[in-house]
Amino acid sequence: MTATEATTAWGGDLNGKPGKGEICYYLNPVSANPAENRSPAYLAFMIESDKFVRYDVGNDKEVAPGGGKRGMTIDDIRKLYAGRIEERPHKYVEGGHYLRIKADDDSGAVLVFETDAAGKVSEWRVGQPPQVDYIEGCS
């Protein structure tokens, strides 16, 4: 869907727009509590070339498709998504991992959990390749 369609589907106010010459940016929900408006990792919708391509979650409230969430251990994720996980070392966190799970339908969607050095999920994202695999968001 387009950025406009994603905004309409969200049903609330979203902050964000592309900078001059940028094709990738994030839309962030506007919160009634300004302290909750954090970085794009909190809850953010990635738009690239005017298409909604991924969403990022870095809070304890949201639950990923299949039941995973922030704070779970690698073993918890392995049990929930048994036989479907591709594990990779984290690019920036020594001892951390990326746990990549392809959708079990023909949507092409991918779920990626990032873990910290202690093996706990620190954030997760869902989207379409290649954007879901961008490690540094739009960068």
pTM of the model as a whole: 0.90
Cα–Cα dist 21/1, whole Å: 21
Question: Residue 102, SS3?
Answer: strand
CATH architecture assignment, domain 3-133: 3-Layer(aba) Sandwich (3.40)
What residue has token string 């594990």?
87
* 41, pLDDT greater than 70: no
The single-letter code of the amino acid at 67 is G
Structure tokens at 7: 């905004």
Instruction: Report the pLDDT value the prediction gives residue 17, as an integer from 0 to 100.
Output: 87
Segment 85-104, tens digit of pLDDT: 999 999 999 999 999 999 98
Domains in the chain: boundaries: 3-133
d(CA 132, CA 129): 5
Q: How confident is the model at residue 40 (pLDDT cuts 50, 70, 90)?
A: very low
Buried b (16+ CB within 10 A) or exposed e, 7-37: beeeeeebebebeeeeebbbbbbeeeeeeee
